Amino acid sequence: MPILGILASSTQVAAGDFESIATQTVTGSTASSVEFTSIPSTYTHLQIRANMLCNGQQNIRVQFNSDTGSNYAWHELFGQGSSASAGASSSTSFMQIGYVQASDANITGAFVAEILDYANTNKHKTMRSLNGSDGNTAGYILLRSGLWQSTNAITSIKIYPAGSNLFKQYSHFALYGIKSA
């Protein structure tokens, strides 16, 4: 099932401006993470599209270039049913990118995230994501953004559930390069 992105629906980026770089699908029973490596520096931005199953309710995190230092920050706006909240964290070793609300085999979490100017070595890297999950018919939606305080070009991306939960079989992740508009 295709997952449409924020940029995919804008008038500034044409459909031909997206190029598939790589996909990852959990083929075994579970996986603790998925990773995209050897990302070429030939695009302006990156987009990740994911459809995930986890063996428990879980936030989904991201790290770049195997960097586990405390130089990430993120904030979020989230809603469930008729209530809304916000959160933030700085000086962490990860960014929050997604969420899976339930462990039922038929309940997935999905996100679309853009990593802007990922290859620019003159600035820190920023990311934004839109995420949804529905495990109790109340629905859950998150808008998240984050900062990686590094001027290094992003060459690898690790995506993993927080805590001890794992990605379940058939979880699917796709990485796209976005050409300059």
- Domain of 38, CATH number, reads 2.60.120
Asked if residue 2 is part of any domain, the answer here is no
Q: What is residue 2's predicted lDDT score, i.e. its pLDDT?
A: 43
Spell out, as residue ranges, where the chain has pLDDT lower than 50: 1-11
Handedness of CA 168, 62, 156, 70 (dihedral sign): negative
Asked if residue 154 is part of any domain, the answer here is yes
Q: What is residue 49's predicted lDDT score, i.e. its pLDDT?
A: 97
Asked if residue 1 is part of any domain, the answer here is no
The rounded distance, in Å, linking the Cα atoms of 36 and 65 is 10
Q: What is residue 99's predicted lDDT score, i.e. its pLDDT?
A: 86
Beta bridge partner(s), residue 31: 167
The rounded distance, in Å, linking the Cα atoms of 52 and 50 is 6
Q: What is residue 72's predicted lDDT score, i.e. its pLDDT?
A: 98
Range of the domain at 64: 7-13+20-178
Number of domains in the chain: 1
The rounded distance, in Å, linking the Cα atoms of 60 and 54 is 10
